[in-house]
Amino acid sequence: MSNYVLFLIIIIYLAALFFIAYLAEKNSKSKWVNNSVVYTLSLAVYCTAWTYYGSIGIAANSGINFLPIYLGPVIAAPLWIILLKKIIRISKQHKISSIADFISLRYGNHRFLGALVTIVCLMAIVPYISLQLKAVSETFQILSDETSYVSTSVLDDSTFYIALLLAVFATFFGTQTTDASEKHKGIIMSVAFESILKLAFFLFVGIYVTYVLFDGTEDIYTKMSQAENFNSLTTISGFEEGFNWLYTIMLSFMAIFLLPRQFQVSVVENVREKHLKNAIWMFPLYLLLFNIFVIFIAWAGNLTIGNAGQAEYYALLLPLQNGNTFLSVLVFLGGLSAVISMVVVATLALSNMVSNNLVIPYGFLDYFIKSHPERNAKYIKSIRRISIFSIIIIAYVFYVNFSFELSLYSIGLMAFVIIAQLAPSFFIGLFWNRGSSNATIIGIIAGITVVFYTLILPFSLHAINGSDDLVQYGLAGISFLRPHALFGIDFLSPPAHAFFWSILVNLLCYMIFSVLQKGNYRERNYAEMFVDSKNYSDLQDGALVWKGEAYVADIKKVLVKFLGENRTERALNLFFRKYDLPLDTQMADARLINFSEKLLTGSIGSASAKILIASVVKEDEVSLVEVLKILEESKETIARNKLLREKSNELTKLTNQLKYANEELIEKDRQKDEFLDTVAHELKTPITGIRAATELLMDDDDDMPKEIKAQFLKNMLQDSDRLSRLIHNILDFEKLSKGRSTLNIKKYNIKNTIKKTIDSLKHIADKKQIEIINSNNSDLSAEYDEDRIVQVLTNLISNAIKFCDVKKGKIVVDYRFDLGYLEVTIKDNGKGVPRLDLPYVFDKFYQSKNQNIQKPEGSGLGLAICKQIIEKHNGKIWVRNNEKSGATFGFKLPFK
Closer to other proteins by Cβ: residue 468 or 669: 669
**Rounded Cα gap, residues 594 and 540, in angstroms:** 9
CB of 682 to other proteins, least distance (A): 9
CB of 721 to other proteins, least distance (A): 12
First to last CA, the chain: 79
Closer to other proteins by Cβ: residue 721 or 766: 721
Does residue 825 contact residue 750 with C-beta atoms inside 8 Å? Answer: no
Which element (helix H / strand E) includes 609? helix 606-616
Closer to other proteins by Cβ: residue 537 or 718: 718
Q: State the amino acid at position 202 in one-letter form.
A: F
Residue 633 CB contacts under 8 Å (≥ 6 apart), including other chains: none
Closer to other proteins by Cβ: residue 163 or 693: 693
β-bridge mates for residue 891, sequence order: 824, 877
**Cα angle: 847, vertex 849, 853; to 5 degrees:** 115
- CA-CA-CA-CA torsion for 652, 655, 659, 660, nearest 10 degrees? 70
**Rounded Cα gap, residues 512 and 517, in angstroms:** 9
CB of 731 to other proteins, least distance (A): 21
Closer to other proteins by Cβ: residue 517 or 850: 850
**Rounded Cα gap, residues 546 and 533, in angstroms:** 19
Residue 196 in 3-state DSSP? helix
CB of 715 to other proteins, least distance (A): 4
Residue 806 CB contacts under 8 Å (≥ 6 apart), including other chains: 768, 769, 770, 852
Does residue 827 contact residue 812 with C-beta atoms inside 8 Å? Answer: yes
What is the Cα 153 distance to its own chain's centre?
A: 50
**Cα angle: 544, vertex 545, 550; to 5 degrees:** 100
Looking at residue 305, what DSSP letter applies? T
**Rounded Cα gap, residues 160 and 154, in angstroms:** 7
CB of 720 to other proteins, least distance (A): 11
CB of 698 to other proteins, least distance (A): 10
**Rounded Cα gap, residues 819 and 45, in angstroms:** 56
Q: What are phi and psi of 373, to 5 degrees?
A: -60, -45
Binding footprint of other proteins on the chain (CB under 8 A) = 677, 680-681, 684-689, 691-693, 695-696, 699-700, 708, 711-712, 715, 718-719, 849-850, 854-855
Pairing of strands 548-549, 746-749: unpaired
CA dist 811 → 771, 823, 838 (Å):
6, 17, 19
Closer to other proteins by Cβ: residue 712 or 815: 712
**Rounded Cα gap, residues 106 and 425, in angstroms:** 9
Which element (helix H / strand E) includes 709? helix 706-737
Looking at residue 822, what DSSP letter applies? E
Residue 757 CB contacts under 8 Å (≥ 6 apart), including other chains: 790, 793, 794, 797
CB of 727 to other proteins, least distance (A): 16
β-bridge mates for residue 822, sequence order: 817, 893
CB of 777 to other proteins, least distance (A): 41
Closer to other proteins by Cβ: residue 103 or 833: 833
CB of 700 to other proteins, least distance (A): 7
**Tally: H helices and E strands in the chain:** 37, 9
CB of 856 to other proteins, least distance (A): 8
**Rounded Cα gap, residues 415 and 421, in angstroms:** 10
CB of 641 to other proteins, least distance (A): 53
Burial of 299 (0-12, 13-18, 19+ CB in 10 A): buried
Residue 832 CB contacts under 8 Å (≥ 6 apart), including other chains: 803, 881, 882, 885, 886, 887
CB of 702 to other proteins, least distance (A): 13
CB of 713 to other proteins, least distance (A): 11
CB of 665 to other proteins, least distance (A): 22
